[in-house]
């Protein structure tokens, strides 16, 4: 009787742990996929305002306007 209850509890816990591990595995896979597809720093903001200001021709053009 006690053994049957212990086996049932063990099976329920094992199934719950297996579900949690599967969920964790999927979460880790999703995070790795996000990391793998992040743009490289040189690809970020190629035409952003900071990048345009740093470009010499734009810098000179700005002084000509004033």
If one counts the domains in the chain, the total is: 1
pTM assigned to the model: 0.45
Q: In the prediction, which pLDDT does 35 show?
A: 85
Q: Which DSSP string do the residues of 41-62 spell out, in sequence order?
A: GGGTTTTSHHHHHHSHHHHHHH
pLDDT value of residue 25: 93
> 47 lies in which domain range?
2-65
Report pLDDT digits (tens) over 6-27. 999 999 999 999 999 999 999 9
Which has the higher per-residue pLDDT, 43 or 5? 5
pLDDT of residue 42: 66
Q: What's the pLDDT at 66? A: 46
């Amino acid at each position: 009787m006690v053994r049957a209850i212990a086996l049932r509890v063990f099976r329920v816990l094992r199934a719950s742990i297996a579900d949690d591990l599967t969920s964790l595995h999927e979460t880790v896979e999703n995070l790795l996929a996000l990391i793998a597809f992040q743009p490289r720093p040189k690809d970020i903001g190629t035409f952003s305002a900071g990048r345009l200001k740093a470009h010499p021709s734009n810098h000179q053009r700005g002084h000509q306007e004033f």
